[in-house]
């Protein structure tokens, strides 16, 4: 199975976060649901490591505790905001709004890692601002604004997590990093057990919670790890955004009857364009380099 297929499978798993969250509804609050999600994912990854004979990869040193704790906190906040968002917005809009993630990573890296901001970065930032404005403030109905804001906030924490991992530059296997981040995230969220009422939730809801932890978290991140073995990180981020948006739109329209609006189409295209602009020079998509060559030939002919 090639890397692109793993990218698609990972985004399919991530897209079902919204499906399971909408099915669970208000039966479980977002913080508690996030706790069960990372706890179940931690157990799944531990069992996976045992079955695959990779338990030696789950070792952790004292110097790694603080970095993993920080990453766990970012993971927890990212999960809470993203899950909460689906109570107020659609799968379709959430899929499009996630296109802001690479732009946030780009500018955080520029600030923290002192990486240079190019013209493409400025263009992407302008596209993000316009896209968010058009999607949320130009239509007659902006009732999904809170949900879209929560998606953006979750992307901020996601970008911080990616930037911090690059800053630390730690040498760990993907299973090791994912497992311990999930463990620390579950520890940080564990106080929810003080008020959570297990008896108040229907048994069928717990099935969705388990699927959310196993499929949308544990298996999803294993697919991500497999994808990154053959797909460059920058190219992965572009493909992930495109496939996540496409799958989310398909699920939103097919399962929940969600519909496009004119402002959603225009704003979404601008957000997608911003992500492409960030990685255009270093990770061109198929055909982009060819179009660039045509552009250079046209300039030479003038």
Q: Which letter, b or e, does each residue of 184-204 get, where b requires 16 or more Cβ atoms within 10 Å of its Cβ?
A: bbbbbbeeeeeeeeeeeeeee
How high is the pLDDT of residue 261? Answer: 78
Residue-wise pLDDT for 183-214, tens only, equals: 999 999 999 999 888 888 888 899 999 999 99
CB 185 within 8 A of CB 72: yes
Average pLDDT over residues 112-134: 79
How high is the pLDDT of residue 49? Answer: 87
How high is the pLDDT of residue 295? Answer: 42
Average pLDDT, the chain: 82
**Which residues, in sequence order, are CB contacts of 257 under 8 Å at separation 6+?**
none
How high is the pLDDT of residue 63? Answer: 84
Question: Given a cut of 90, is residue 114 above it in pLDDT?
Answer: no
Whose tokens are 């099915």? That residue is 23
Residue-wise pLDDT for 73-113, tens only, equals: 999 999 999 999 999 998 988 988 988 888 888 788 777 76
**Total structural domains within the chain:** 1
Question: Given a cut of 80, is residue 139 above it in pLDDT?
Answer: no
54 vs 47, residue with greater confidence: 47
Question: Given a cut of 70, is residue 67 above it in pLDDT?
Answer: yes
How high is the pLDDT of residue 289? Answer: 45
What is the domain range of residue 202? 3-301
How high is the pLDDT of residue 82? Answer: 94
- pTM higher than 0.85: no
Question: Given a cut of 60, is residue 13 above it in pLDDT?
Answer: yes
Highest average pLDDT, of 29-43, 118-132, 218-232, comes from 29-43
| Helix-strand-coil split of the chain, %, nearest 5 | 80, 0, 20
**Which residues, in sequence order, are CB contacts of 264 under 8 Å at separation 6+?**
92, 93, 96, 135, 139
What proportion of the chain, given as a percentage, has pLDDT over 70?
A: 85
- The DSSP letter of residue 216 is I
How high is the pLDDT of residue 81? Answer: 95
Q: Confidence class of residue 167 from pLDDT cuts 50, 70 and 90?
A: low
Average pLDDT over residues 230-242: 75
């Amino acid at each position: 199975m090639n890397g692109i297929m793993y990218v698609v499978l990972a985004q399919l798993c991530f897209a079902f976060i919204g499906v399971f969250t909408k099915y669970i509804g208000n039966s479980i609050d977002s913080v508690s649901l996030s706790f069960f999600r990372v706890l179940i994912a931690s157990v799944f990854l531990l069992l996976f490591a045992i079955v695959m004979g990779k338990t030696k990869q789950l070792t952790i040193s004292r110097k790694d505790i603080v970095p993993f704790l920080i990453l766990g906190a970012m993971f927890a906040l990212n999960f809470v905001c993203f899950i909460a968002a689906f109570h107020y917005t659609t799968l379709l809009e959430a899929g499009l709004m996630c296109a802001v993630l690479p732009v946030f990573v780009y500018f955080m890296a520029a600030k923290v890692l002192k990486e240079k901001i190019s013209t493409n970065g400025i263009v992407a930032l302008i596209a993000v601002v316009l896209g968010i404005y058009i999607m949320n403030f130009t239509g007659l109905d902006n009732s999904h604004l809170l949900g879209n804001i929560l998606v953006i906030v979750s992307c901020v924490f996601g970008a911080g997590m990616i930037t911090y991992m690059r800053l630390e530059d730690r040498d760990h296997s993907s299973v090791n990093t994912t497992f311990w981040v999930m463990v620390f995230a579950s520890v940080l969220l564990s106080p929810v057990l003080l008020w959570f009422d297990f008896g108040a939730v229907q048994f069928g809801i717990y099935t969705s919670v388990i699927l959310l932890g196993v499929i949308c978290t544990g298996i999803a991140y294993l697919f991500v790890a497999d994808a990154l073995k053959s797909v460059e990180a920058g190219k992965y981020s572009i493909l992930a955004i495109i496939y996540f948006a496409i799958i989310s739109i398909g699920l939103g329209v097919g399962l929940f009857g969600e519909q496009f609006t004119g402002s959603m189409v225009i704003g979404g295209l601008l957000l997608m364009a911003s992500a492409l602009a960030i990685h255009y020079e270093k990770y061109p998509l198929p055909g982009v380099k060819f179009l660039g060559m045509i552009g250079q030939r046209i300039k030479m002919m003038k």
